[in-house]
Structure 1
């Protein structure tokens, strides 16, 4: 599905072998560890973000805005006019443009189906860490960590994770492909422990009575 593939690209979910921690830059490893601890300490969080794809040689630039609310393994994602809900068992992809809802079971072995823990902690597995540049972005100190894939078949030229040194939140994620296409996921708002309703992560079929329901399994 379109939305699932976009999420995979945005969050760079590459499931590979476990990290050999001895090969990491200790400072970079510690910083990434603090980010993981911070993310996992929240009851829930809501992220507004931009997704940008740019290639200057091809005079190409696209920007899309979206948001995602997350609690444990459940999420609601709004992106490119599509809403996707994961209630912990099934994925509901709602496309108002087509008046269609597609329902599928979550398959942990399918790398195009990802949960929030994979979205925000993909870099915990399959990468070595190396400290990169420190930048001042409107008064915020953003420390970049280069992610070096353990998988030799990884086709990315460079992957950088930007971390706000004060909040220990992810600021952005940059992926540079061999043809110098630059893909960036940037967090524009990060809200934690929001008063989300009890049915926020539940698909309510009654709302889509006029939609075609496509159940894949």
Structure 2
């Protein structure tokens, strides 16, 4: 019995050390990703977005989008809506409704999550686990698993895929506790583009027939 207890103790210590090494390896890898991203003046991303829920198929959706990001400034085109953030206000433009909604940025609101967060969300609030290296469309993608530290988080886990050569984010697969899984895949990732100084500026004269709804 003593031998069995000793063997189990050795196995437990070994597994603990292995997990610790895996966690540190994953953290170091993501630090490389963060360092590389911080060197970009701006990024321009074409992406695909998919949402699946086994409990309610009506919630399933597939769509594509585009976003330009420079610091916290952004221009996002997604699900038929264009959003511009100029550093102070968010301009939500609906061509279908011919309406522009103008609101102050508030990080506490649902639209307070900036697209730039996609590139940095993993820096805090998660534990890390090294995962597989897979070949995807001719590219080597290194996967890292992330688990929220906050037990009350609605997120169960996140699987982050990184292009192992460029260290750019390729995909983010988020599984929530309610069974919903969202998959964001980067189709095109361009950096340091020539962007005009007015790119993140809303020009009202470009929307002459639109209703301007100023919330605050």
With normalisation by structure 2, the TM-score equals 0.84
- Deviation digits for residues 173-216 of structure 1 (CA, Å, limit 9, x no counterpart): 00123454321000000011111112111000101121111111
- Deviation digits for residues 30-56 of structure 1 (CA, Å, limit 9, x no counterpart): 111111111111111100000011245
Contact 2:22 2:130 in 1 (8 A): no
- Deviation digits for residues 83-129 of structure 1 (CA, Å, limit 9, x no counterpart): 00000111000011111100111123435412243232111121111
Contact 1:69 1:75 in 2 (8 A): yes
Contact 1:103 1:216 in 2 (8 A): yes
The 3 A distance-change label for structure 1 pair 144 and 95 is same
Q: Of the two structures, which has the highest relative contact order with CA contacts closer than 8 Å and spacing of 6 or more?
A: 1
Q: How many residues were matched structurally? A: 196
Could you say which residue in structure 1 is the equivalent of 2:36? 38
Contact 1:158 1:177 in 2 (8 A): yes
Could you say which residue in structure 1 is the equivalent of 2:122? 123
Contact 1:174 1:182 in 2 (8 A): yes
Say whether 1:26 aligns with 2:24.
yes
User: Relative to total residues, which structure has the larger helix share, 1 or 2?
Assistant: 2
Contact 2:46 2:188 in 1 (8 A): yes
With normalisation by structure 1, the TM-score equals 0.83
* Structure 1 unmatched ranges of 5 or more: 1-21
Could you say which residue in structure 2 is the equivalent of 1:106? 105
Say whether 1:68 aligns with 2:67.
yes
Q: Greater CA radius of gyration, 1 or 2? A: 2
